[in-house]
Amino acid sequence: MNHDYSALSHLECSRCTTQHDAGRLQGTCQCGGPLLARYDLSRVAELTGPGQIGGRPPSLWRYHELLPVARPERVVSFGEGMTPLTPMPRLGREIGLPELLMKDEGVLPTATFKARGAAVGVSRAAELGAAGVAMPTNGNAGAAWAAFSARAGLPFLVAMPADAPAITRSECVAAGAETYVVDGLIGDAGRMLAPAVRQRAGWMDVSTLKEPYRLEGKKTIGIEIAEQLGWRVPDVILCPSGGGVGLIGIWKALQELADLGWIGSRMPRLVAVQAAGCSPIVAAFERDELTTSAWPDARTAAFGLTVPAPLGGFLVLEAVRATAGCAIAVTDADLLAAQALTARLEGIWICPEGAACVAGASQLRESGWLGADDEVVVLNTGAGLKYPETATTDLPVLPLDAAIPSPDAAAVG
Ligand SMILES: *Cc1c(COP(=O)(O)O)cnc(C)c1O
Ligand SMILES: [Zn+2]
């Protein structure tokens, strides 16, 4: 392989550390463990550095040496990445965290951070010659993979729960994906898809962490945060965790950057935020367990967090513990209130999953786990626009030519 565009060297099992060939399509290890992409970091250091990266176009592909796509012409892109890392002064003051920042992923193509995983996952699957890709989804991953697959000309098969955000169903259909809606949760959708994928020659199962490259796309969130802070890390990063790819990706990124010497060795405390209606990672964290147990009757308005049995739960727990972070669950009432508060104070209508981080940050400040001078980054994983039902209004329609109330009579909201 030509090692100038990518310094990818091999794949390594996250459970048993067996090495695997990165030059062909791979699923999980024989032991069932997710595979992690490994790079020749001394080659990366020869090829580039922070100064050079700073002059490149503002997309996640500016980190191409640390991404798996071998040839630049195989990159399938809408220009995704380099999302804003925005100070939240009014919200921060309200919840006692004046140094609050938000990494806002709502501006990505298809309006969630799933675009990062899809950009890299689709590009690499197509480069390695996949005949098609298939996945179960809670909606947003399907929408993102549908868009990137369409652009790559790669057939895409997707199944989602009937309760997934309705717009994501439309996005899949609009982009020409073979789309199925199932009466169940994401695990049920995955079980129904698996035999269909096996029947299709050359197809890849790209379920969460069942192939190695979606994680590489998500990893760029962590690299961007470091670069946007001037190649250093904040004190704390809160990440909404369903399958856990976002948080695992951020951790992997920061380890690679530390190994490269591009940031110091200090790690931010990583916080996995879940919804109280589906919090297997929090439960395992609190019980000091190394792996998660399946969560019964999962249900939350933060639909992307409805993952009762995350394959990578053990990696999230490892990341959180290794960085002296924690895992916290917030109720739907609290996360929806945090969503409304963020829109009112900062003008950003965030998704319910991202709002879980705002609610989580507020609770951790109240408990004293976060200090007033901690520099805290909350990850907003998507746009509130994808969840219109979270902000219903019941405004009356005024009769034509009715008088608009005077200021003292008007409701202030
Ligand atoms: C998928 C999703 C999540 C959860 O991400 P994981 O990487 O699976 O932990 C959070 N927020 C939104 C909007 C999502 O679509
Ligand atoms: Zn293994």
DSSP state string for 239-251: EE-SS-HHHHHHH
For residues 305 and 242, the answer to whether their CB atoms sit within 8 Å is: yes
Residue-wise pLDDT for 131-158, tens only, equals 999 999 999 999 999 999 999 999 999 9
Q: What is the pLDDT of residue 215?
A: 98
Q: Is 167 exposed, middle or buried (0-12, 13-18, 19+ CB in 10 A)?
A: middle
d(CA 19, CA 6): 18
For ligand 1, whether the C-beta of 240 sits within 6 Å is: yes
- pLDDT exceeds cutoff 90 at 3: no
For ligand 1, whether the C-beta of 342 sits within 6 Å is: no
Atom of ligand 1 nearest to the CA of 351: 13
DSSP character for 395? Answer: P
For ligand 1, whether the C-beta of 242 sits within 6 Å is: yes
Q: Which amino acid is at 379?
A: L
- Its pTM stands at 0.96
d(CA 240, CA 250): 12
Q: What is the pLDDT of residue 407?
A: 86
d(CA 116, CA 81): 7
Residue-wise pLDDT for 279-313, tens only, equals 999 999 999 999 999 999 999 999 999 999 999 99
d(CA 18, CA 30): 9
Residue range 48-77: mean pLDDT, rounded: 98
Residue count of the chain: 413
Residue nearest to atom 3 of ligand 1 (CA): 304
- Residue 17 CA, ligand 2 centroid: distance in Å: 6
Range scoring the smallest mean pLDDT among 218-232, 251-265, 386-400:
386-400
Residue range 166-170: mean pLDDT, rounded: 97
Question: Beta strand pairing status for 8-13 and 132-136?
Answer: unpaired
For ligand 1, whether the C-beta of 304 sits within 6 Å is: yes
The strand ranges marked E within 59-155 are: 85-87, 100-104, 132-136
For ligand 1, whether the C-beta of 112 sits within 6 Å is: yes
Q: What is the pLDDT of residue 393?
A: 85
Q: What is the pLDDT of residue 2?
A: 57
Contacts of 147 (CB under 8 A, 6+ apart): 78, 109, 110, 115, 118, 171, 175
Q: What's 348-380 look like in SS3?
A: CCECHHHHHHHHHHHHHHHCCCCCCCCCEEEEE
* Largest distance between two CA atoms of the chain: 74
d(CA 111, CA 158): 18
Spans of all domains in the chain? 85-111+214-390
Q: What's 63-88 look like in SS3?
A: HHHHCCCCCHHHCCCCCCCCCCEEEC
Relative to the alpha carbon of 34, which ligand is closest? 2
Q: What is the pLDDT of residue 40?
A: 98
Q: Is 235 exposed, middle or buried (0-12, 13-18, 19+ CB in 10 A)?
A: middle
- pLDDT exceeds cutoff 80 at 64: yes
Residue 180 has a CB neighbour count (10 Å cut-off) of 15
Residue nearest to atom 2 of ligand 1 (CA): 304
Domain 85-111+214-390 maps to which CATH number in 2.70.50.60, 3.40.640.10, 3.40.50.1100, 3.30.300.30?
Answer: 3.40.50.1100
Residue nearest to atom 14 of ligand 1 (CA): 304
Residue range 152-169: mean pLDDT, rounded: 97
d(CA 412, CA 201): 61
* Packing angle of the helix pair 213-228, 114-127 (nearest 10 deg): 130
For residues 359 and 330, the answer to whether their CB atoms sit within 8 Å is: yes
- pLDDT exceeds cutoff 90 at 81: yes
Stretch (H or E) spanning 270: strand 269-275
For ligand 1, whether the C-beta of 245 sits within 6 Å is: yes
Phi-psi category of 365—alpha, beta or left, where left has phi over 0 and alpha has psi -120 to 50? alpha
Residue-wise pLDDT for 343-391, tens only, equals 999 999 999 999 999 999 999 999 999 999 999 999 999 999 999 998 8
- pLDDT exceeds cutoff 70 at 1: no
Residue 305 has a CB neighbour count (10 Å cut-off) of 27
d(CA 333, CA 4): 50
Residue-wise pLDDT for 230-244, tens only, equals 999 999 999 999 999
Question: 386, 366, 320, 338: which is closest to 102 by C-alpha?
Answer: 338
- Residue 26 CA, ligand 1 centroid: distance in Å: 23
Q: What is the pLDDT of residue 310?
A: 96
Residue nearest to atom 1 of ligand 1 (CA): 304
For residues 407 and 130, the answer to whether their CB atoms sit within 8 Å is: no
- Residue 211 CA, ligand 2 centroid: distance in Å: 13
DSSP character for 1? Answer: -
- pLDDT exceeds cutoff 60 at 412: no
- Residue 30 CA, ligand 2 centroid: distance in Å: 6
Q: What proportion of the chain, given as a percentage, has pLDDT over 70?
A: 98
Relative to the alpha carbon of 18, which ligand is closest? 2
